[in-house]
Every structure is written in structure tokens, then in C-alpha cells.
Structure 1
Amino acid sequence: MSHNGVALRAVTRSVVFLTAGALAVTALSGCSSEDKGSKPLAEQDIAPAARDRVADGGTLHWAVDAVPDTLNTFQADADATTTTVAQAVLPSMYRLDANGRPQINPDYLESAKVVETEPKQVVLYKLNQQAVWSDGREIGAADFAAQWRALSGKDSAYWTARNAGYERIAKIERGANDLEVKVTFARPYADWRSLFSPLYPKDVMGTPDAFNDSARKKLKVTAGPFQVKKVDRKDDEITLTRNPRWWGHPAKLNEIVLRAVPRDKRATALAAGSIELGEVDPEALGRISLAARAGATPGAGPVAGPVAGPGGRPARPSGSNLGAADALRSWALAHEDDEEAADDELSASQKKRRALAAYEREQAALKGYEVRRSLEPAYTQLALNGASGPLADERVRRAVARAIDRKALAGVVLTPLGLPAVPVGSHLALSGQDAYADNSGALGGQDAKEARALLADAGWVPGGPVEKEKKKGDKAAGTEGHKAKRESADGDDGTYIVGEDDKSDDQDPKDHRGSGDSPRHLAQDGKQYANKLKQGSAPGAYAPKGTAAPADAATKVLAKNGKALALRFVLPSGPGSGPLRTVAGRISAMLEKVGIRTEISKVSDKSYFKDHIASGQYDLALYSWPASAFPATDARPIFAKPVPAADGSLNVEQNYTRVGTDQVDQLFDQAVATLDEGKSRSLIRKADARIWAAAGSIPLYQRPQLTAVKKNVVNAGSFGFQTPVYEDMGFLKKGAKPASGPTGH
């Protein structure tokens, strides 16, 4: 899921686990005098330029993950691209600033405030008198009312993803004139600023058929700087064009084309000139950075330095004494009696040379791009499934948390990217947001001694008796620590034990590699891999790149009631999941030091969330949540205590760890009904401290946001918390330079 800017409100707070993620941010107002507040760990990186420096016209081709199935953000299958389109073409009453704080959007609102609290909460919106839909009709109370009725939850004919906030409204009516909208709430609602962003016209919200179907494929009526010109599912792109009825600053670009490009193909698409902007992975960052260095070094070729070439093989460094032709001649001289083999080698060498030449051409083209870096308003967490097994015991969950060095894990991911490696201290907000406070002290930092004590208190005994279990196709599972399942060479689903002592010396070490993993991915600097070949085994030998062998390799297996303490660690296996596998390997090594073994199971990206996370088929997992501007509303389903449903199943809402408490639920309920912003913020922080103490999920680090952009594209890139200003995006005028300050909007 890509993150093309930040939505004011996540309609469904979507989970993300690979690259890019989506969605929204922070609380209700500025910090009080008693609250110093925090700052974002990284600023947005968009090459800001005043509007008078931006050329008029042009088309920006923007890579997205997919053309969405729907253009209605309130439907369950809406995605990040749905949000991007809505931001560009529909009204939003509020925008997010650089700290993720909601600010009135003056293009649509003159003011909005609570004008009554007794006997009912009443909010009065005063609309911008110039605000009109693309068909010429004024935006007004009828549109607000239609959206409320559609999302109130009272009419099941509307296929809505959720109705949070709208179900609290009692009525909507016209105010003193057509420019005023009066919203009366049946119950107090602290997060009222989250509503009507985006706002759809009554044409979409007025009937179930229009809501369910007509807005999925097209939006006939819009009210933003752009409008939807074409949705082309054959060519996988959406074209947005200037809205001629837009009353604000006119869009600099003629068109924005949102083009679906797989993430592992984006470097090639950038080099080919088919896109000018798109989020990329660290591998593409490396290629673009290398191209820039090569271009800045006199006499250096486009592939100077030890870089991966086609197929992941090292490219020949510039200035090497042995070129491809020299190597081929040397080989032929050594095997001159085998002319047929020499011909085959010549053909293979020619293919390699052609591939290298194409790669070098791409590298030369990539000199025209740069990578703009920030941090997404989303964090990666370690999820602990508390529904059953060892992790149903809070002491075991806390032991897992106390065994982990969160700062080291953040450093593994963020330091190589030049981003601040600071662990996330809250489940409900990120640094810079009003609600943010580091509440991790409620659980405590890394302490192996304390982790062992918690495990002992839970009855897990080092070296205790373990019943041997036989599994079909395996040797002995459990105490012997042999692989539960061999991973196929083509990267299909696989399971293996991290840190086990596998005594068989005749196995092919390549069997332990995941899809696309080289021996360097298996252990830090390849040292453990070498030890495995020499000695037959090494703790951590099967862990991803960067996993060091535990200092106490002789840690005994913990056991209880004849069962060894081993946790199933489920990970995605796709090409974008390399960082997650690296982090998982580090976590596994940390857990092994306190006697907890992990059984790593790699599954396909397609089934990872649906078949494993949502269904509870895991012990440990890594995935991400977006932060929300309105945590009292949006975060509650994620941490709500699961309750039995009428059919006997467990209703977990979005709480996929299955860990929750009545106290946390009560704190959320109080926060969302408290109109005093300081009190509401305090309640949110108390809820977060209780969530930490329950140890159902452990926030690790804020996700990196890397956006490759053509150098002359301005006011676009890695937006961080802030809502993009689509009308200011464009191409720099010739001779002009980006400004260091804010844009001219």
C-alpha cells in the first residue's frame, strides 16, 4: 500500500506490512501551556517552491500501487490511491499541517466551531461563498445531510466501511443562510473535525445505488483543483485534469496521471521516463544515489563502485583490470580443448554484456532523479497473538517485549537511509502529534534478566523435559530443533527454526535462503554462514541479514508441561519484505538469548494478512498501522477488547492481537465524549500506557518514506504528515531554484 500523502482521516484504519502505507494523523488542537508537545522526527521533503517559480502546464506521471477498485473512500475496498484522488478532486473541511494537526481548509470553510454544548453539542460550519461543485451548484447543507444519512448506519442498503462519528449526529440543517450548516449531535463527539473530509456531493450520497455503484468507477461531480478525466483500467492509470470551475489558486499542472507501477519496476520506469514521481524501496534508493555519485565524480562511469548489477550480481567496478572480454579469453585459453563449451560461454557472456549495458543506460538516466526522504505517519510493530498458546499469558508477552532492543531495531531500518532511528513510544500517536507521549515505561525497556524472571514466574523452566513430537516429513520436532519444513528454492512458503542446532552436515546451505536472499542475507557479513559450513551449525545461521549469533549459544530450551517454548513468527515472502525479514531475524536472536525459540514461517504476500494476521494464525508478526489525527475514534477498534459474537465466534474488530482490557475501552469512550481537548488528550495517553502494559503489540519504528522524483518537480515528494497541495505541484521554471521555505500557497 503506497502512501501518497496523508488523508485527514482513515476511513478504515488499514494495516500495511510491506512498503508504503497510507493514511492519517493527529489530535485536535495545539499543545496547552502545560504540555511542551513534540516535534516530527523528520520534516517533509518536497522541494518547496513559491508558485511564481513553478511553470504553468505539463503532466506529472505519478506511480501508485494500483488503480483502485472504488473512488468512494467510505467503501471497504478503498485504498491509498482512492485517498489520493479524493484529496485532489473533493472538498475537505480540514487539512493536516506539518505536525499532523487539523487546520481549517480556507478553500471550503470560513470557520467551524462548537457553538452550543447544552443540551446538545452543536457545530456551526460557515462555508466559503465561492465553493461550488463542478456542475455549478453551491456546496451546502444538502450535501452534508446526504453524507450523514448514508454513513449514519441506520440504512443497511448503504454498503459502508464504517460510520464512526456520523452515528452520533442527531440532525443537520441549514443555518441563517445558504452558507451555514448547523450540525447537532445526539451525543458529545470530541472528534467532530474528522467528519465531512472528504465531502461527496449529494449525487453520490443521496441513494444507496449511487453510493454503492456509481462512485466506484467514476466521479461525475467534483469540487477540487482537479477533476477525474478518465479511469483506464486497461492501461492501469487514472487521469486527473484541471477543474475549470475551481475558485482557488489555479492548478499549475494541466494533468496528473496516476499510473500503476509495481514497486520493483519503478527504477526502470523512472529511467525510461514513464513516471516522474513514485515511492521506492531502499534498493532503488541505492541505485539513484549511486547514479548521482557517478555523475558527480570526474571520469567515473555510470556504474562506478561495488554495486549490484543485473540479477543482483556485483557489477564490475570501474577501472577493474579484468574486463568481461579479458575474463572470457582467460577462460578459453584454460579450456581450449573444449570449443563447444567455449561457444556456450561466449553466448552467456554476450547476454551478460547486453544486460550490463542496459543497466548502465538506466543508471545514466537515473542521474536526473533524486530521492526525497521523510517518515510516514505510520509505525511498524511486533504483534503478539494473545488468543492462545504461550502468549495468552501476559507474563510471556511481557518477557518477549523486555527481551527486545527497540532502539537497535529502529537503527537497522532507518540509519542506513539517513533517517532518525528513534523508537516509537506510543501506539496512538507519533512524535509531533498532540497526543504523543512516550508511554513505553509502562512496560519497561530491554532487560534480559527481567525477561527470564517473567518466564520463570510463568512456569517455563530451562532444560525441562520435552515430549518429542513427530511430524510428517520431518526428523524430530521440538527438542532436537530440526527444520519443521524446508523452504523451496523458488521462494514459496517455508518454515524454519531460528537459532537451532541442526546436526546434519550434508544439507545444502542454499535450502535456507528465502526468495531473493543471498548468503549475505542469512547472517551479518556472511560470518555465520561461513561458520555453518565449517562447523555444521551455528545459532542464528538461518536468520536474515544482520542477525548476529547470540552470545549465549548454549541457552537451554525452556519447557512447560512437556512443551518447548517456541513461537511461530509469520512473515511475508514478497520482494518488498526484505526489511521485515531483517528485523525479524534480529528479534529472533534477541529472544533466543532468553530461551525463546522462534519458528519463522514465510507466506505469500496475498495470504499474509487475510489468512494469517486477521484469522489469528500466528504467534508473532510484523505489520504497520497508520497514526490517526483522531485516535479516540480511529484507534479504538484496534485495541478494543474482543467480545463473543452471537454465533459463538470472537468479534475482534481490528484487534488482531486479541489482547484488550475493559479499562482501555472505558478510556477511549471517555476521550471521544470529552469536549475539553486537554482532558481528551490526557485520557488518550492513559489508554496508551495501559496498552503498553498489556504487551499485545510493541511499536518499533516509524516507517521510512522514500520518494524518487525528477529533479525539476517541486512541491511534491515525501509529504510526511502534511496534506499535499495539489494545485502547487509542478515543474520548476527554467533558471528558477526551489525555495528553502514554505510554498507560495
Structure 2
Amino acid sequence: MDASTTARGLGRAAVAAIALALTVTGCSSGGSGSTGDVAKTVAPVQDADDINAQPLDKIKDGGELRVALPQWITQWNPYQVDGRYGDAVDIMGYVEAKIFRTDAKGVFHPVPEYLASAELTSTSPQVVTYKINPKAKWSDGKPISYQDFKAVWQSTNGKAQGYNIADSSGYDQISGVERGADDQEVKVTFSTPYADWQNLFNPLVPASMLATADVFNTGSVEKVAVFGGPMKIGSIDKSAQTVTLVRNPDWWGTPAKLDKITYRAMDYPAMTQAYLNNEIDEAPASTSTAYNQLKDAKGTRISTGTPWDEVHISFGGNGALADQTVRQAIGRAIDRDALIKVVNQGMPIQFKKLDNHLYMLNQAGYRNNSGDWAAYSPDVAKQLLDKAGWKEGAAGAPRTKDGQSLELHFVVSDGSTQQQSDMVSAVQNMLQQVGIKMDIDKVSSKEYFAKYVDQGKFDLASWRNTDSFPLSQGVTNFRAPEGDNVFGNYSKLSTPEIDSLLKKAAATLDKAEADKLYNEADAKIWELGHTIEIYQRPSILAVRKDLANEGASSLANSDITKIGWLK
């Protein structure tokens, strides 16, 4: 339940931030180097879950948890296009049927309160059989059944008219959802293999929420009519910008420890002061300014997590950058270690260099595929530019070719922090050393994506991609565009080989073989000069010391029933 996470749950979200900023609202970093001597003692590792894990017998029954919301939630249907905002998806996982949870390695496990079992029962065709816990029911008294699975599929597969869906991935590969031996057995048949089937139907919502296009689109605006989780919504107060969750009295599993969770919408800069004023119980500490204000607050621990959250520099595919050799030259001209030092100033956690586009460092299957493509060498960069026909100019002047100067534009948001600005300036200097003139074009944070990134109007640009998990969620960011649809591949750079490897990996049911294919694709993405990965962005959270089983997000999902206050 990391308040610094911008978007989570149903897919990959692009976040216009290069390094430490939580949004593009321009909160100051406090300047570079103000606390450069902070000990960096935490590194992303597998099984890292910094949540103050405690057994239930050490936790009080009752109490309230107060959490900040970065923005007001209007749409509560997680399958509707406006309902994929991360905090809304998380909360719906507490009040509806969260049928799978991931552990610290990102491995999915069925939640026993909902599923007695969920198994791949056939591979040709792919069939998944779910056996629902017979105790599982909705707040209107109806048992959770195959009808709910069927309603999610029918409303979200992209074939139903008028349903404004968030994402059809996986659902569009299902050929049928049928009743098994009884209403609590579900047989889902796929027309083509889909490896990440455990990500589907999660959270499961009642069929009544999806019954018609109108109900699907508007029936869950600022209200949730039917519940099926350990918590339920107690109130939604738009004027006070608060949402409260309370225990669901009809919950059949182990009761939640907390009586109440109160969410209050506020801007990120306000969260630090709200925490210090004892108005909320956790606050992001992911800028040096926030960290320095929060680290010594009374009764506070700093929790760090390693979520699926990466920082990269993307290359455009037009002009001089249409030449792969030029893109490869830039990859050799950029010193990623130096850039990490710039943005890592004053932080308690060591930012770790990322050498994979698809896997995080703490994710099973991670492999360094960067090879020589991102190995810093100005001399090699110059040789590649020579090879591409860009002749060296006079001292300090850019290279030229056919009478044109080698001049590129790095598009940045005007909401960037000082550390982000310092990082871009460092890139500018590095490129200058090899004969590339780089202009820094500051644009409105409100237009950064809509007018520039989404349209591919950049030579270089940087943003965070979050929650590209499970792996098939990231395929769209590197696949070939189809007509005007670029999916998430804003550079529009692709090859048939990368396309083929990614599609094959996403359809491979054997995990080891899928990992092999994804990593082969990643090596080709590095060679293509599509994106320079820089580092995995950690989450850093100030949390009350006596709050148990809660902290900064990593790859594991929170179990809301176990979060509470120590006795």
C-alpha cells in the first residue's frame, strides 16, 4: 500500500518522471548533494519485503489506518478504462474478490478464501479449471460462481459494444467460460495459449457490476453496490475527499485486524506535512526533501521496496535517429553509472542499474542482456557515428552529414525536479563530447504525454514505466505498431524478430522456456537501440513503527487482513 506508487494493478503505466519525482507537479528535490553522505544500505534483492512482518497474535484487534490518496477516485470498476488507476484497483482488491496474490518474487498464488484450486487442466487447447471456495459469496447473498467469471470475460474481451474497457489482453484469447461440475467450478478455454492467465479475473467483481454497457461504464461511479472482500466501503465523501473502508461483517475468512481504513486525497507535497502532523500513518519519502523531513520523525521507520518501476531514456525513430547505428552510438556515449549518481544524491537507498527491459532486478528470470550496447565508451560512440557518415566538426561544433548538423532534442516536463534537470544536463554534456548537439526542450507537464510522448515527437525523452507485470503486460511497449495504434511503443521502433519472440514468450506456458524467450527478445531490444534502461526505481515510505505487515511496495501484494497495530 505504497502511497508513492502512481499506477498499479491492471497494466503498465507511463509516469512522466525521470528519477525521484512522484508526479510531474514539480516538487523540489531540495538541490543536489544536500545529504550526499547518507548511508546507502538497502539494495533490491529477491524476497525483499520490508513490511515489519508480524504474527497475528502480536497485533491488536481494531484500530484505524489513515492513508493518503494522490488523487480522488471516481470510477470503481477496475475493468473500465477510468478505473485502472492504481489505488482504486488496490482498494477494490480489499473489498471484492482478490483471487490471486503475488509473493516477493512476483509468483502468483491462489487466495484460499476464494479458490480451493486453480489449475491448468489442458494445454491443447489451454483450459484452466477454477474451483471456488463454497463459502465465498457477495454481499447481496449470491454465491461467487462461474457467472461472475463469464461476465468479466464477456464485458472485457473487446467484442461487446459500448463497453469502455481498460484492457482486453488475455480476455480476447478466451474462447469460452463455462460451468463445470457445479456453479462453483469454472472452465476457461483459450483459443490461443496465454501464459499469464493467473493475472485474469483479478480482482473478480460480481456479474451485476458488468451487466450492461451502461452499468459497466457508470454503475460504479463514486459508489460500490456489492462487496465480496474482508473489507467493504463504509463511506465515500467527495466534499471531504475521503473514502473509508470498514470490516465486512459477512466475511467468511479470518477477520481483518483493522476496524477501519481512511483514505484522504491530497497532493504529494502535502503528504509530508500531513504525516508530521499525525494526520496520516504513512507518507512517501522518495525525494531527498521528503526523506530528510521524515527520517527522524518520532515513532517512524523508513521502509523501502522494489516494485516493478523502471527509469529509462527512450529514443525517437525519426531524423538522424532513424539510423540504428546512431542510436547505438548514443547508447555507448551515455554513462549510466554517472547518471545514477546524479539522481541518487541524498537518498538512503542505492539505486541499482537495470540491464533488462522486461524484468526487474528482484524478479525471477532477470538476466543482464545489455552486452556492449550500453557499455560507456565515448571512443566507440565516435567510431559508430563515423560509420554512420556523421563527420567530426571543428572543436565544440556538432558533427555534420550532407550539410546537416547532428542536433537532437531531449523533451522534458516543466515539472521536473532539480535532480531530473541535472540528469538531463549530464546527458547533454556526454553527447557533446562525441559531437552531438542536444537541445533541452521544456514543455508543459500537462502536455508532456498527450502532445509529445504519445505522438512520438521526441528524439530523447524519459519517463517511468510501472507495473509491467506479469511479463505479457510489457509486450505492447516493444511490439510493432499497427496503423495509428502504437500500443505503448511510442518510439515506433521494432523488428519482426522482436515481435515474434515476445508473442511466442507470452504464449509459452512453461516458465523456464518463456523466460528464455523474453530474455532473447530483450537482448534484441538492446541491440535495436530502442531504450536505454537506467535503474529500477525503489519505493521509499515513512511508516509508523508500530504498524505491522505494511510498508513500501515490492512485487508482493498486501494481505489487508494482516495489517494492524502492534499490541
Same fold (TM over 0.5): yes
What's the offset of the Cα at 1:5? Answer: 7.0
Amino acid in the other structure paired with 1:15? A
Counterparts of 1:96 and 1:378 in 2: how far apart (Å)?
16
Amino acid in the other structure paired with 2:403? G
Quick check: 1:101–1:629 contact (8 Å CA) kept in 2? no
Counterparts of 2:409 and 2:66 in 1: how far apart (Å)?
42
Counterparts of 2:250 and 2:6 in 1: how far apart (Å)?
25
Q: Which residue of 1 aligns with 2:101?
A: 95
Q: Which residue of 2 aligns with 1:124?
A: 129
Q: Which residue of 1 aligns with 2:176?
A: 171
What's the offset of the Cα at 1:444? Answer: 4.2
Quick check: 1:580–1:622 contact (8 Å CA) kept in 2? no
Is 2:215 the counterpart of 1:375? no
Q: Based on CA coordinates, which of the two structures has the bigger radius of gyration?
A: 1
Quick check: 1:101–1:433 contact (8 Å CA) kept in 2? no
Picking from 350, 363, 373, the partner of 1:433 is 363
Amino acid in the other structure paired with 1:66? Q
Picking from 321, 329, 338, the partner of 1:399 is 329
CA gap of 1:84–1:278, structure 2 versus 1, over 3 A, is farther
Counterparts of 1:189 and 1:41 in 2: how far apart (Å)?
26
CA gap of 1:385–1:2, structure 2 versus 1, over 3 A, is farther
Matches within 5 A, 1:171-570: 171-280=176-285, 281-289=287-295, 292=296, 366-386=297-317, 388-414=318-344, 416-441=346-371, 443-463=373-393, 554-570=395-411
Is 2:439 the counterpart of 1:599? yes
SS at match of 2:410: strand
SS at match of 1:223: coil
Quick check: 1:141–1:180 contact (8 Å CA) kept in 2? yes
Deviations 1:649-680 (A, max 9, x none): x3311111111111111112212222222222
Picking from 37, 52, 57, the partner of 1:52 is 57
Deviations 1:352-402 (A, max 9, x none): xxxxxxxxxxxxxx323332122332100101111x122111111111111
Matches within 5 A, 1:717-728: 717-728=551-562
CA gap of 1:611–1:157, structure 2 versus 1, over 3 A, is same
Counterparts of 1:596 and 1:570 in 2: how far apart (Å)?
16
CA gap of 1:265–1:59, structure 2 versus 1, over 3 A, is same
Amino acid in the other structure paired with 1:276? D
Is 2:67 the counterpart of 1:62? yes
Is 2:567 the counterpart of 1:636? no
What's the offset of the Cα at 1:6? Answer: 10
Matches within 5 A, 1:558-637: 558-574=399-415, 577-631=417-471, 633-637=472-476
Quick check: 2:288–2:346 contact (8 Å CA) kept in 1? no
Which has the larger displacement, 226-235 or 142-151?
226-235
Q: TM-score, normalised by structure 1?
A: 0.70
Quick check: 1:4–1:81 contact (8 Å CA) kept in 2? no
Quick check: 1:442–1:689 contact (8 Å CA) kept in 2? no
CA gap of 1:139–1:101, structure 2 versus 1, over 3 A, is same
Is 2:525 the counterpart of 1:691? yes
Deviations 1:171-207 (A, max 9, x none): 1112112321111112222221121111111011222
Counterparts of 1:205 and 1:288 in 2: how far apart (Å)?
43
Quick check: 1:5–1:84 contact (8 Å CA) kept in 2? no
Name whichever structure is richer in helix by fraction.
1
Q: Which residue of 2 aligns with 1:143?
A: 148
Q: Which residue of 2 aligns with 1:27?
A: none
Is 2:565 the counterpart of 1:731? yes
What's the offset of the Cα at 1:14? Answer: 1.1
Matches within 5 A, 1:652-731: 652-731=486-565
SS at match of 1:149: helix
Quick check: 2:374–2:532 contact (8 Å CA) kept in 1? no
SS at match of 2:298: helix
CA gap of 1:442–1:678, structure 2 versus 1, over 3 A, is farther
Amino acid in the other structure paired with 2:539? Q
Counterparts of 2:131 and 2:110 in 1: how far apart (Å)?
11
Quick check: 1:71–1:219 contact (8 Å CA) kept in 2? yes
Quick check: 2:12–2:469 contact (8 Å CA) kept in 1? no
Counterparts of 2:210 and 2:417 in 1: how far apart (Å)?
39
Quick check: 1:10–1:628 contact (8 Å CA) kept in 2? no
What's the offset of the Cα at 1:3? Answer: 5.4
Counterparts of 1:444 and 1:704 in 2: how far apart (Å)?
22
CA gap of 1:39–1:713, structure 2 versus 1, over 3 A, is closer
What's the offset of the Cα at 1:74? Answer: 2.0
Counterparts of 2:69 and 2:428 in 1: how far apart (Å)?
33
Highest RCO, 1 vs 2 (Cα 8 Å, sep ≥ 6): 2
SS at match of 1:587: helix
Q: TM-score, normalised by structure 2?
A: 0.91
What's the offset of the Cα at 1:454? Answer: 1.0
Counterparts of 1:712 and 1:288 in 2: how far apart (Å)?
16
Q: Which residue of 1 aligns with 2:40?
A: none
CA gap of 1:715–1:4, structure 2 versus 1, over 3 A, is farther
Counterparts of 1:593 and 1:215 in 2: how far apart (Å)?
55
Q: Moved runs in structure 1, 4+ residues, more than 4 A?
A: 1-7
Gapped runs of 5+ residues in structure 1?
22-37, 293-365, 465-553, 734-745
Quick check: 1:568–1:600 contact (8 Å CA) kept in 2? yes
Gapped runs of 5+ residues in structure 2?
24-42
Q: Which residue of 2 aligns with 1:541?
A: none
Identity score, percent: 35
Quick check: 2:308–2:469 contact (8 Å CA) kept in 1? no
Deviations 1:60-80 (A, max 9, x none): 111121012311222223312
Quick check: 1:4–1:84 contact (8 Å CA) kept in 2? no
Quick check: 1:429–1:627 contact (8 Å CA) kept in 2? no
